[in-house]
Structure 1
Amino acid sequence: MFGFMRGNRSDTTYRQVYAACCQAQRRHFGLTSLFFHSYEAIFLYLLAIDAQACDSPPDTAVTCCRLRNRLDSWPGFDVERARFGNAFALILAATKLDDDVRDDRSLVARLLRWRLRRPIAESRDYFSHLDPQFEHVVADFIAQHLRLERTADEPLSIEDYCAPTANAFGYFFQLFAEQLAADSTVRDAVQQIGSSIGAAILSFDCAVDYARDRQRGSFNPLANTRDVQRALDYSLHCLAEAGWRCTQTFGPAAATGRVVRAVFDRVAHRQAALLAPPSIKKRKRRGLLTTYRAYRRGFCVCDCGGCDGPGCDGGCDGGCCDAPGGDALGGDASNIDCLICVDCCGGCNPGDLRDSKRKNSPTMPLESNSPSSPSPMVGMTAFTFGPLNPSGYISLGGKTVPARSRGEWIGDDTEVQVIAEDSFGLIVKRLESRTSGG
């Protein structure tokens, strides 16, 4: 398996769909193609389930195919929907192998491309049957991407660099939505989800490959570590937008929403690791045992720098870490850094972290905080950082945070108030018609 949209391993529905799609890929494209079975293919099938275009797996469905040739899928398993995802996985693999051959002259990539030449050709034929202009459209997306790399001397934002990939993913997701015979609202939502996921994938790859690309002299649109941070911010924003669209379109219990949440958490953890104080990074390099001991003492990989430290590095002035009983929620709720510490660590008590994991169980809907336990951020005021249409960013406590409105368009630099919090960020409303300049 390869890809970005990997769900939580404790999500039974995800594992059941994973096993069935794995067997379907082997049946359609052969055993060798399983090396490039993609998590994005699983996500597409989950979209079909959320759109009620095919049945959910029963409780008795297997969660591991064990590479058996016999198809052990459930009676309502839609082979054609799975085939679309399988073919999409091979198109992604072919694009990746072509890129490795072009950029690195990789012999391994050449051999793999030769070995998979027949399944890749069958995948292209499959999509050409769905859209006669398929080859031309995909070639145009790749040409746009390569054109951006050839203009490396000019300033290039991460948003502009990700645009061709986002459009390409949107194209494939739109093709898939058309196969679902869904209404226009669902088709548009699926296309936008695909675009957001495509942008999130590429921006994350640029961030994690930054150091390696600098060593090898390979192209990377990020010029410095500040750009790396911005790329991770953009990836989180795109994932938040995809997650919001999943839950708004298919409901709070959508399987796709759970997958996006799992990916969102992993990217956020990677971002927090980049911001960790040197002492915490040193502990992580010493191995799992030392990391576990640090965790038991209250250390976590986030801005606060450890809940038992002399003070918080993120500007909390010890408020969130030195609260009575070690409860970070007892700190200064008006300080955004304290809240980020709480969100990362789940509280200074390791037991709090275990409780928060139970609350975020993949079998539970991704709903906003209940009125009985409102988020400490509710009621805070902030300013939009760019327009909310309806999602975007707000500037809160000197940090850029993903946010969305209840559907209205809110312009740039407009004062808003936080009214709720969900799994992907904050929900805000326009406070009044004035800007920070007024």
Structure 2
Amino acid sequence: MCCQKAASLYRAHFCGLGTSLHRHYGAWARWLVNRDSTFLTLLGSALAEAPPQLCQTTCCNKFATPRDLVADNAVLQYSAAVTICGLSAKLDDDAQDERGWRSHAARFGSLALDTPIGDALGLLHALCFPVQDVRAWMAGQADIENRSATLHDCARPTSAAYGEIVGHLAQVSGSPEAKPLLHQLGESLGFLIYAQDAWEDWARDKQRGQFNPLHAFPDLTGRRAALLPVLEAALTSLRRAFDALPLRRNRDLLRAVLIEGAEARVAQVSEETDSGRKHPQSPIEGTERKRSSCCDKCDGCNCCDCCDCVRFCRPGKGGGSMCDCNPCDGDGCECCGCDCSP
């Protein structure tokens, strides 16, 4: 797929999800759209028998030129509800783990957003999503960490939750035969996200005196030796599940968003030094990586000068996401901007 077309397709789903959040939960909710929820939407669209319908409209700026956005549908509504419930889980977690004004702000946020959170939970219940199980797993995260459990034990709630969230796309998209593979993909992705967060947060958690399953390995070499094998195993499981999925469209884009993004984050662990930076990259390595990017699939679309910004999967800091897939977050280039300015 040409990188320019891939950027437009991603934008259509990203902004369509933002519009769905606005429609069902209020204007404030469009700011919750993120890379993981957009990936969920893309994956659901790729599994559905019919391609998503597009509508010509603007995303956020009413005076901007209308673009193609994915019209509201069952996959968008499911992703939007998951996004709202993700915010609820984050607020509950902050209320329990943080101190002072942060804890009070999280509690106030939960109370203020009681109605939209209730609406999202209602939709998930109507879709037979195991809401209570997932909420119980996430609520039990602190108890597991208080027991100073291993990385696998600590990652289990996140892994199980992602397994259910991604696995439920089989019902929402009308592809029940894909559920086992989707569940495997979600569990592997959840483990990778938790493990990557543990790696990135190690120094901060140590400074704050907070639990981290990698504290058992005080030196960088030990942490890397303990983490890389399990990351590689999860990445292999992720690849196998993805390759076997009965996707009807957009496989190349999803591979760039998911697989190549996860590979880049695992590579980041192997390359990071004691100062928190990667080993220096030689000019030859940089040239080879660019040549193997989406530029070799551009097909004369005249957008190769900015392929790196629409490849979607540069490793980035924050959020715990495996993907850097937001053409609207200002870190891209001109060819993949959109109308999402405030």
CA contact (8 A) 1:29 1:119 kept: yes
Q: Does 1:220 find its partner at 2:216? A: no
**What letter is aligned with 1:26?**
H
- How far, CA to CA, are the matches of 1:111 and 1:262 in structure 2? 39
**What letter is aligned with 1:218?**
Q
Map of 1:315 onto structure 2: none
The answer to which structure has the higher helix fraction is: 2
Q: For residues 80 and 235 of structure 1, do their structure 2 counterparts lie closer, same or farther at Cα, with a shift above 3 Å needed?
A: same
CA shift for structure 1 position 214: 0.7
- How far, CA to CA, are the matches of 1:9 and 1:206 in structure 2? 35
CA contact (8 A) 2:188 2:237 kept: yes
Unaligned 5+ runs, structure 2? 300-342
- How far, CA to CA, are the matches of 2:226 and 2:23 in structure 1? 42
CA contact (8 A) 1:54 1:77 kept: no
Matches within 5 A, 1:12-411: 12-56=8-52, 65-66=59-60, 68=62, 77-105=71-99, 106=102, 107-131=104-128, 134-135=131-132, 137-152=133-148, 156-184=149-177, 186-223=178-215, 224=217, 225=220, 226-227=222-223, 230-231=226-227, 234-235=230-231, 237-250=233-246, 254=251, 255-275=253-273, 301-302=278-279, 307=282, 347-348=284-285, 350-358=286-294
Q: For residues 115 and 247 of structure 1, do their structure 2 counterparts lie closer, same or farther at Cα, with a shift above 3 Å needed?
A: same
- How far, CA to CA, are the matches of 1:32 and 1:232 in structure 2? 39
Superposition RMSD in Å: 3.5
- How far, CA to CA, are the matches of 1:157 and 1:114 in structure 2? 34
Larger Rg: 1
Which deviates more from structure 2 when the two are superposed, residues 20-29 or residues 254-263? 254-263
CA contact (8 A) 1:128 1:134 kept: yes
CA shift for structure 1 position 358: 4.4
Give deviations 1:268-316, integer Å, cap 9, x for gaps: 353244147x7xx7xx7xxxxxxxxxxxxxxxx44xx665xxxxxxxxx
- How far, CA to CA, are the matches of 1:112 and 1:352 in structure 2? 47
CA shift for structure 1 position 112: 3.1
CA shift for structure 1 position 108: 3.4
TM-score between the two structures when normalised by the length of structure 2? 0.71
CA contact (8 A) 1:88 1:123 kept: yes
The answer to which structure has the higher strand fraction is: 1
Q: Does the residue aligned with 2:214 lie in a helix, a strand or coil?
A: coil
**What letter is aligned with 1:48?**
G
CA shift for structure 1 position 9: 11
CA shift for structure 1 position 12: 3.0
- How far, CA to CA, are the matches of 1:362 and 1:246 in structure 2? 23
Unaligned 5+ runs, structure 1? 1-6, 285-300, 308-344, 364-438
Which deviates more from structure 2 when the two are superposed, residues 229-238 or residues 140-149? 229-238
CA shift for structure 1 position 151: 0.9
Compare relative contact order (CA 8 Å, sep 6+) and give the higher one, 1 or 2.
2
CA contact (8 A) 1:189 1:249 kept: yes
- How far, CA to CA, are the matches of 2:298 and 2:98 in structure 1? 39
Map of 1:433 onto structure 2: none
Q: For residues 35 and 67 of structure 1, do their structure 2 counterparts lie closer, same or farther at Cα, with a shift above 3 Å needed?
A: same
- How far, CA to CA, are the matches of 1:158 and 1:81 in structure 2? 32
CA contact (8 A) 1:16 1:57 kept: no
Give deviations 1:151-173, integer Å, cap 9, x for gaps: 12xxx331222112111111222
Q: Does the residue aligned with 2:43 lie in a helix, a strand or coil?
A: helix
